[in-house]
Amino acid sequence: MSVYIEASIKTPSIEMDEKEGRISIKGISIPEDPHEFYHPLMAAIEDYRTHPAEKTALDLHLEYFNTSSTLILRNLIKNLGEIREKTELVVNWFFESDDEDMKEAGEEFKMLFSELNFNITAV
């Protein structure tokens, strides 16, 4: 199942291509109801976990996210991390080079998921 959600003022763009093994979340994540907003992606990942691509990349390029989005992102990474025996998983955290807050957020996620291949890159 592929997922495509266009960005809005309060929500990021989401693209998931299960054949390519690529998931991208980009923009601002302050949805009114994060569980409802991220539900299509989480459901697609549940399906993806049964037959993942040989390589899987989760690309996160967020300008800002709220506390409830943090929990969703944590669960998303955790769910993908559980299939790392089946796929070569990499998490790519991108941040604007002058955004120390987003750099620190990436470093916190990297520490939380130290067992994963987790890259933090300034753009």
- Domain span at residue 82 reads 3-122
**Residue 92 CB partners (closer than 8 Å, separation 6+):** 57, 58, 59, 60, 119, 121
pLDDT tens by residue, 61-88: 999 999 999 999 999 999 999 999 999 9
As for how many domains the chain has, the answer is 1
Do 59 and 94 form a contact (C-beta atoms < 8 A)?
yes
pLDDT tens by residue, 29-52: 999 999 999 999 999 999 999 999
pTM over 0.85: yes
Residue 99 sits in a domain whose CATH number is 3.30.750
